[in-house]
């Protein structure tokens, strides 16, 4: 397995990589919102880049519509882009169209890969398990903010790649950098709060969204692109890697009231013999 982190959508697009697996991250807030919606029974989430297109699809197909520009809900839309809105019973069994500043465009770019997964902290281990099951070359794509590096997305990319390679004793600069970031922010909420976009969201009054988005493994959902929409496949409760990853100290319990998580967990060599074909040695790199 080869894992490479792309710091922005443009960097990924320019690279021309043909990695068969692409994991898209916009933890604040598009991918967290999509994962939350799917975890609460939404049948499919259709990401679109443009506001008029979202509006038109909503009207033509009687789909629910969500989205933001500058962080704020768009006029006439059913929902903004707060993941906490995505628990609404209105979404159960329905299709939701969503347009956001960055995240939805990044998903569409990543959707050209054979397998495109939508990741957040909320579904971190589930995503890791799906990636391990797929194997091969993996592009982890951070949406970034306004075309630039964004700590919030990079933190999730580091957490994911560290999980993926934890049993492989990764060496090298990139792996060390990822571990450094996780050690610098043992609590994911601190990383989200420290990021420029996190600070902006807090100023806009969305501080509680950061708390929501920081809950590691709150939902056992694999969110994957399937013919024009993001859909969920729920994991079997007995599946190998996810169960092992979740059993790691502090990794899985989410953010219980007032309890600080210990993250990253101690990476345990016992993770090595998982239910998948022996993990292939992972050259591990990022720019």
- Binding interface with ligand 3SL (CB under 6 A): 26, 28-30, 68, 71, 81, 100-103, 201
> Which of Mg ion, ligand 3SL, none lies near 68, with the C-beta cut-off 5 to 8 A by kind?
ligand 3SL
Q: Which residue is nearest to Mg ion (CB)?
A: 26
> Which of ligand 3SL, Mg ion, none lies near 47, with the C-beta cut-off 5 to 8 A by kind?
none
Between β-strands 221-226 and 229-234, what pairing exists: parallel, antiparallel or unpaired?
A: antiparallel
Query: How many CB atoms are located within 10 Å of the residue 129 CB?
Result: 27
Please identify, among the stretches 39-47, 135-143, 170-178, 243-251, the one whose residues bind Mg ion according to the rule CB under 5 A.
135-143
> Which of ligand 3SL, Mg ion, none lies near 32, with the C-beta cut-off 5 to 8 A by kind?
none
Say how many CA atoms lie within 13 Å of 75 toward its Cβ: 0
Alpha-helical segments (H) within the chain: 9-15, 30-39, 51-61, 103-110, 124-134, 151-165, 173-184, 188-194, 196-203, 207-213, 240-246
Select the residue interacting with Mg ion from 26, 68, 85, 217 (CB under 5 A).
26
Residue closer to Mg ion, measured from CB, 139 or 244:
139
Q: What are the φ/ψ torsions at residue 149 (nearest 5 degrees)? A: -50, 140
Residue closer to ligand 3SL, measured from CB, 211 or 268:
211
Smallest distance, Å, CB 159 to Mg ion? 16
Residue closer to ligand 3SL, measured from CB, 26 or 217:
26
CA 63/CA 56 separation, integer angstroms: 10
Query: How many CB atoms are located within 10 Å of the residue 72 CB?
Result: 12
Could you tell me the two tokens for 218?
A: 């709150």
Contacts of 268 (CB under 8 A, 6+ apart): 166, 248
Smallest distance, Å, CB 18 to ligand 3SL? 25
Residue closer to ligand 3SL, measured from CB, 44 or 192:
192
Residue closer to ligand 3SL, measured from CB, 69 or 272:
69
Smallest distance, Å, CB 197 to ligand 3SL? 6
Number of H helices, E strands in the chain: 11, 11
Residue numbers at the binding site for Mg ion (CB under 5 A): 26, 28, 143
């Amino acid at each position: 397995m080869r894992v490479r982190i792309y710091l922005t959508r443009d960097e990924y697009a320019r690279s021309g990589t043909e990695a068969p697996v692409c994991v898209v991250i916009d933890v604040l807030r598009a991918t967290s919102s999509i994962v939350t919606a799917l975890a609460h029974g939404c049948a499919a989430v259709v990401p679109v880049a443009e506001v008029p297109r979202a509006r038109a699809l909503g009207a033509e197909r009687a789909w629910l519509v969500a989205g933001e520009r500058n962080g704020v809900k768009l006029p006439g839309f059913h929902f903004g882009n707060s993941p906490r809105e995505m628990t609404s019973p209105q979404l159960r069994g329905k299709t939701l169209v969503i347009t956001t500043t960055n995240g939805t465009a990044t998903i569409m770019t990543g959707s050209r890969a054979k397998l495109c997964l939508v990741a957040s902290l909320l579904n971190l281990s589930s995503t890791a398990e799906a990636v391990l099951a797929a194997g091969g070359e993996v592009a982890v794509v951070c949406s970034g903010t306004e075309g630039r590096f964004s700590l919030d997305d990079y933190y999730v990319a580091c957490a994911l790649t560290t999980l993926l390679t934890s049993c492989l004793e990764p060496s090298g600069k990139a792996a060390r950098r990822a571990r450094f970031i996780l050690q610098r922010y043992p609590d994911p909420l601190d990383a989200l709060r420290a990021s420029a976009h996190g600070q902006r969201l807090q100023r806009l009054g969305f501080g509680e969204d950061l708390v929501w988005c920081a809950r590691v493994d709150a939902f056992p959902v694999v969110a994957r692109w399937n013919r024009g929409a993001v859909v969920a496949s729920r994991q079997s409760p007995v599946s190998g890697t996810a169960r092992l990853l979740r059993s790691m100290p502090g990794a899985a319990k989410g953010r219980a009231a007032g309890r600080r998580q210990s993250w990253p967990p101690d990476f345990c060599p016992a993770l090595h013999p998982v239910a998948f074909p022996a993990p292939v040695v992972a050259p591990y790199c990022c720019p």
